Amino acid sequence: MIVLSFHPLQSGSAVLVRGANFRISSDGTLRGPDNTIAARYLDGLWYLGQRRHISFECAGPIYLRVTHNYGRRELIGPCTSIRAANGAIYSQDSCLGIHFARAQLAPDSGDTWHEVSLLRQQ
């Protein structure tokens, strides 16, 4: 089970979202295992309903299955933790990549990830 902890833009408690896996799609949605929308990425923030969140994170081990904007697929991990903020995915303060939703705001972003799946197992 993956537990995502969303950190609110303003003061408040973190919101926990649980699922077997999650996927950041190129349309800016974060989808759960049954393809339902758990959150939306818009204007640099994650929206859970109407509530705005600056980032989310989860503890590992976590694998990332990514599809680059030019079609290449890659498996990254295991990572001890993952954080999604500012349109990028981080592990231990290192930027692993930029997801496509951010690239739509800045088209000159170069190599971006068209889709990112967060998985417990390979």
107 phi and psi angles, rounded to 5 deg: -60, -20
49 phi and psi angles, rounded to 5 deg: 65, -125
Q: What is the pLDDT of residue 109?
A: 54
Q: What is the pLDDT of residue 57?
A: 97
pTM score: 0.88
The residues of the chain scoring below 50 in pLDDT are 103, 105
For the beta carbon of residue 83, count every other beta carbon within 10 angstroms: 20
Tell me: the pLDDT tens digits for 42-66? 989 999 988 999 999 999 899 999 9
Look at the block and give the residue holding tokens 């408040």: 12
Residue 16 host element (H or E)? strand 15-19
Q: What is the pLDDT of residue 100?
A: 65
**What are the structure tokens assigned to 19, written together?**
């699922």
Q: What is the pLDDT of residue 12?
A: 85
